[in-house]
Amino acid sequence: MNNVKKLSDLAKTIRSKNAGTDKITFDIIFRERETYDLVKRSGALTRDSVCHILKIDPGRLTDFVEYDPAYAIKFTILRVRPSGSAGDGDIFGAQQYAPFLDVEVDISA
């Protein structure tokens, strides 16, 4: 029996977008409470795991919220350079969510 599923199979929405010129925010939203609670219990998404997945220093993670009313896990990181500045490869911050698609979640948690 396979007790692991990809986060992209469990979440309704996985996205990233600008949060001002210096930050990118991420939203991982679930359809129902049971799946949201399962992912929270699994420990697949924590402050530490987000930093590990994005390969960033923990000091760049400014917010991490488990928002129960919306069945959502939300977090925000500081950009390396301001949106639209020279060398910025994603002006809208909309392509930064990809590393979360294949995150494995232990569904037996």
Three-class secondary structure of residue 35 per DSSP: helix
Query: So what's the pLDDT on residue 98?
Result: 96
Query: So what's the pLDDT on residue 88?
Result: 86
Residue 68, exposed/middle/buried by CB under 10 A (0-12, 13-18, 19+)? Answer: exposed
As a whole number of angstroms, the distance between CA 60 and CA 56 comes to 7
Total domains present in the chain: 1
81 to 2, 20, 91: CA distances (angstroms): 41, 12, 10
- The tokens for 10 are 């469990």
Query: So what's the pLDDT on residue 89?
Result: 86
Which one, of 1, 5, 2, lies nearest residue 102 by Cα? 5
**The domain containing residue 85 runs over which residues?**
4-106
Residue position matching structure tokens 């609670």 = 37
| CATH code for position 17 | 3.30.70
Query: So what's the pLDDT on residue 1?
Result: 55
Q: What is the pLDDT along the chain (109 residues), one digit of tens a residue?
A: 589 999 999 999 999 999 989 999 999 999 999 999 999 999 999 999 999 999 999 999 999 999 999 999 999 999 999 898 998 888 899 999 999 999 999 998 6
